[in-house]
Amino acid sequence: MSRLTLHFDTLDYVEKAEKLGIPSDVAKFHAREMEYLYTATIDEVKKEIKNEFNNKEFATKHDIQQAKLELQKEIASLRYDTLKFIIWTGCGVSTVILGGVYSLLKTMLH
């Protein structure tokens, strides 16, 4: 993993501040404080990122493949159950209709 290295150049900051007329001791004070805040902020962000990654569960390719297989099995099972329901419902409806036709014919013939 590559590392991003950030650096705050305090010497450059002090030189630029002095060119603008800021006294050297004030410029150095500001540069030290900015470097401290910069470093503390970067450290805090790194810690937060590390905590985020440590507190998460990431799915692997294997996990995703397993979930896909389980879903395919569930879909196949639901298709089978739906087909059974359709067939048995059709059989039941057909039986009722045939029974009604039989009763009607029996009544008409007697």
| Top-confidence residue, 14 or 53 | 14
Percent of the chain with pLDDT over 70: 94
Percent of the chain with pLDDT over 90: 28
The amino acid that residue 95 corresponds to is T
Backbone torsion region of residue 22, taken as left when φ is above 0, otherwise alpha when ψ lies between -120 and 50, otherwise beta: beta
- pLDDT tens by residue, 16-62: 989 999 899 998 999 998 888 888 888 888 888 888 777 677 788 99
User: Could you tell me if 72 and 46 are in contact, meaning their C-beta atoms sit under 8 angstroms apart?
Assistant: no
What's the mean pLDDT when you consider all of the chain?
86
**Residue 101 CA to its chain's centroid (Å):** 59
Domain boundaries, the chain: 1-56, 60-110
pLDDT category at 1 given cuts 50, 70, 90 is very low
Cα dihedral 54, 60, 64, 67 sign? negative
Selection from 18, 41, 19, 42 nearest residue 30 by Cα: 18
User: Could you tell me if 42 and 6 are in contact, meaning their C-beta atoms sit under 8 angstroms apart?
Assistant: yes
> Three-state SS for 93?
helix
